[in-house]
Amino acid sequence: MFKNKLRFSIKILIALGFIGIFGAELRADTITVGMSAPKTGPLAGGSTVTHWPNVKLWAHEVNARGGLKLKNGRAKIKVIEYDDRTNPGEAIKNINRLATQDKVDFILAPYGTGFNLATAPIFNKLGYPQLAVSAITDKIPALTKRYDNIFFMLGSTTTFTNSVVNILKKMRSDGKIGNRVAMVNVADAFGIELAAAARPVFKSAGFEIVYDKSYPLGTKDLSPVIKGAKASKPDAFVAWSYPPDTFGLTAQAKINKLNVKAFYTAVATCFPAYKGKFKGAVEGILGAGGINPDTPEMKAYFKRHKSVTGKDADFWASAVTYASFQILEQAIEGVGSKDRKAVTKFIKENEFKTVIGPVKFNNQNNDRFWTVGQWQGDKFYGVSSEGRPGAKSVIDKPDW
């Protein structure tokens, strides 16, 4: 009789969740994470390589190990996705919907500089931490002063332009190039700001910009841009470009034999598809970002990325994007709850172990990042960085 009563009492306690106090790991919960980024429009190609696969990888890995560790047990991740159609207005609408209708616990930052800048006010108003992983801007000090919830991962516009100019200065001092630079940019927040920052830096370094041209985002025919650059007889070609135009400019440079010893295109130069399209012709091409792909952490990340998503990670922002999710994960677990205000405070005050190395924000800005990479063999190696070890020496670019 006593044993039967004891069994009955235990069943009641389990049903009431009392046993969960002693076995919190057994209790299931969900953390909803919202995401708005391009699936269509001009930036969809870049987002499909850099952003979306890493969302999938991160959610898969967290859930495979049972979810995030909270004070009341583990919580698995549920992702709600929207296509911003490469439209800032759509991105703002999506983020507002995620917060007010879907009532997600956290929202991942959008893809692209302009989109992060456009959505920063609504992230702040709604109280969500914004790890602006794919944004390069000189507005970082002003934005972090205005918004206490935004964090930057990739660095400033001036740092990127200085890194490119310093590489060209070294090539000039080695007698490999002269002073003549052809510079083009996509007419988007990213390209406009980089070109504006680059002009005085080139001038101060003694370079002459012999061709200076912008083109609209989504431009299909870039042959006039390349023909104009070639006609200016440059020693170096620099394009502050986004994925579609990075491919288009390179294709036209190859067709039109724009042979310069320093050829730089920005976002997407690091994509495996770039190497796949142009094959051996990528040797020596410079581009934005880079990584040290030979570290054990990066090798393991590339392997997991391919295994889970079926796609190859790029050699720059893919890993940084994944690192931003690792930071959010560690902050949520550090706080032990879905308290967004506490999570934001935790991000500000702690250092995080990530696939790209340690990350600690200084005034909400990560000051250790890669700036310039170069194709050397089958990998896109970092050749210039701020505080990241393992940079390779720049090699000569063969003619097309």
The Cα 378–Cα 282 span in angstroms is 9
Helix (H) or strand (E) holding 34: strand 28-37
Q: Tokens at residue 348, please?
A: 């500000």
Domain limits, the chain: 9-156+294-369, 157-293+371-386
Length of the chain counted residue by residue:
400
Per-residue pLDDT reduced to its tens digit, 115-167: 999 999 999 999 999 999 999 999 999 999 999 999 999 999 999 999 999 99
Q: If you average pLDDT over every residue of the chain, what do you get?
A: 93
High-pLDDT (> 90) share of the chain, %: 92
Q: Torsions phi, psi of 143, nearest 5? A: -70, -40
Label the pairing between strands 365-366 and 357-362.
antiparallel
Taking 50 as the threshold, does the pLDDT of residue 22 lie above it?
Answer: no
Same fold, 9-156+294-369 and 157-293+371-386: yes
**First-to-last CA distance in the chain?**
90
Is the pLDDT at 377 greater than 70? The verdict is yes
Which CATH class for the 9-156+294-369 domain? alpha beta
CATH number of 157-293+371-386: 3.40.50.2300
Q: What is the enclosing helix (H) or strand (E) of 269?
A: none
Give 254's Cβ-side CA count (13 Å radius): 14
For residue 221, name the pLDDT band (cuts at 50, 70, 90). Answer: very high
pTM of the model: 0.89
How far is C-alpha 115 from the geometric centre of its chain's CA atoms? 12
pLDDT of residue 14: 43
C-alpha 82/C-alpha 214 separation (Å) is 30
**Distance of alpha carbon 291 from alpha carbon 276, whole angstroms:** 19
Closest CA to 58 of 31, 91, 83: 31
